[in-house]
Homo-oligomer: A and B are copies of this chain.
Amino acid sequence: MPDPSAPEFDFCRTMTDEDDEAVRGFLERLSAKWPLAVMQILAEEGKPLRFSRLAERVGPISQKVLTQNLRMLERDGFIIRTLYPQVPPRVEYEITQLGMDFLLKISPIWHWLIDRLPQFEANREQADRKAAQAINPAA
């Protein structure tokens, strides 16, 4: 077992309730359906991508929802939006260093969870069987 008094385990002590809410808010928002996909595509691209090309690559998402996701990511500083005032106007999106750092930090827990999905499924089945037996011991 790792040492539970190590600083890695200190999730709460150094933060206010407000900070705690803010961090959980980020995890929730960024692990939603599209933000990670958008950032991943921009990271792979490695250079600015036009809205229409980005929309093609992200997949089945409405323009409205993609725009909402891009605004949120831009507002936090994970991506940069550049408007070229030509006719028709050209809008390009690029990932920032902050966005790249975020992807690198979320990646280990993401892959750890993927690798363990079958184990979680097995754990849940076992727990449900145990619960059923507790209700009906003859089963």
Number of chain copies forming the complex: 2
The reply to whether B107 and A112 form a contact with Cβ atoms under 8 Å apart is: no
Q: A31-B24, A109-B27 in contact; A120/B19 too (CB < 8 A)?
A: no
The reply to whether B127 and A75 form a contact with Cβ atoms under 8 Å apart is: yes
- Name the 10 nearest CB pairs between A and B, nearest first: A77-B123, A27-B31, A8-B107, A4-B43, A75-B127, A105-B109, A23-B113, A105-B112, A24-B31, A4-B44
The reply to whether A108 and B105 form a contact with Cβ atoms under 8 Å apart is: yes
Total interface residues on A, CB under 8 Å, equals 57
With both chains docked as a complex, state the minimum distance between the C-beta of A33 and any C-beta of chain B, in angstroms.
Answer: 7
Q: Bound complex: CA of A37 vs CA of B24, how far in Å?
A: 12
